[in-house]
């Protein structure tokens, strides 16, 4: 992919860069997305049906097992070139990472994540009283076909632990949303990477950046609703595009 000299100049001149990332970034590390069809036990369920408080009330073992399977996938995965490029671009300028992903792959690649808008797989809490808890060390062993796993009990009230993610119908974590808004205020260049721009209210962030006069760059394999707003649309896998962007910055001939 050819990275335009205009985009390179915008990047060089940016005072603060914000990366707003979605499931497409983690998918390149082998993390299943909500669009992937699960097999075995979970083949009978839409992912959205397992990502609600109502589903947890109906069958907590099914929901906890599914999220333990997802957590297993994350712990076995490694950061990909997209994660690594984002971390590398922070070497010579302020960079904020705001992600919709619930994994820690940005952190493992060296990025300082300002906000996890949809929560974090590794931060369970009590379904009843909200007390934070910890997973036991190690990678959970969950069969690919799926397994019902009874959630652990809360040490404070005895209620069931739930995954530390934002389910459908729940508000985004207030502290993370505030951190994302602060990053948005600081940014004069925003990269929207690997996100469908369909999940609200997070999908508003690039739109707000554009309205504030920030340069908006979209990196995505497919067209999205952001196409008409973005100043630059870089179509392709996140790892491939961001790796080329990083390489182009290092080539004098691209200037």
Query: What does the mean pLDDT of the chain come to?
Result: 93
pLDDT in tens, 202-249: 899 999 999 999 999 999 999 999 999 999 999 999 999 999 999 998
Residues 6+ apart with CB under 8 A from 72: 139, 140, 141, 142
Which architecture does CATH list for 1-31+79-120+171-255? 3-Layer(aba) Sandwich (3.40)
**Between β-strands 215-220 and 17-21, what pairing exists: parallel, antiparallel or unpaired?**
unpaired
User: The pTM is what?
Assistant: 0.93
Residues 6+ apart with CB under 8 A from 80: 25, 28, 29, 105, 238, 239
pLDDT in tens, 141-192: 888 877 899 999 999 999 999 999 999 999 999 999 999 999 999 999 999 9
Whether residue 120 lies in the annotated active site:
no
Please report the pLDDT score of residue 253 as a whole number.
Answer: 56
Please provide the CATH number assigned to the domain covering 32-76+125-162: 3.30.1600.10
| Percent of all residues in the chain with a pLDDT value above 70, rounded to a whole number | 96
- State in Å, rounded, how far the first CA of the chain is from the last one: 15
Q: Domains of the chain: which residue ranges?
A: 1-31+79-120+171-255, 32-76+125-162
- Choosing from 83, 118, 120, 135, the catalytic residue is 118
């Amino acid at each position: 992919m050819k990275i335009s000299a205009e985009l390179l100049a915008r990047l060089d001149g940016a005072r603060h860069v914000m990366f707003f990332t979605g499931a497409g970034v983690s998918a390149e590390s082998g993390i299943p997305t909500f669009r992937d069809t699960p097999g075995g036990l979970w083949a009978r369920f839409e992912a959205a049906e397992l990502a609600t408080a109502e589903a947890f009330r109906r069958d907590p073992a099914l929901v906890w097992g599914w999220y333990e399977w997802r957590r297993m996938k994350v712990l076995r995965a490694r950061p990909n070139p997209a994660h690594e490029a984002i971390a590398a671009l922070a070497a010579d300028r302020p960079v904020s990472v705001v992600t919709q992903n619930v994994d820690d792959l940005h952190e493992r690649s060296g990025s300082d994540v300002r906000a996890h808008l949809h929560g974090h797989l590794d931060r369970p809490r009590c379904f009843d009283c909200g007390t934070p808890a910890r997973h036991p060390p190690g990678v959970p062993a969950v069969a690919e076909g799926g397994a019902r796993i009874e959630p652990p009990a809360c040490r404070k009230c005895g209620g069931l632990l739930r995954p530390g993610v934002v389910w459908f119908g729940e508000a985004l974590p207030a502290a993370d949303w505030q951190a994302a808004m602060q990053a948005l205020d600081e940014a004069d260049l925003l990269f929207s990477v690997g996100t469908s721009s369909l999940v609200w209210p997070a999908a508003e962030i690039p739109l707000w950046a554009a309205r504030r006069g920030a340069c908006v760059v979209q990196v995505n394999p497919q067209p999205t609703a952001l196409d008409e707003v973005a100043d630059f649309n870089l179509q392709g896998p996140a790892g491939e595009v961001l790796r080329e962007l990083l390489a182009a910055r290092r080539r004098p001939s691209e200037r």
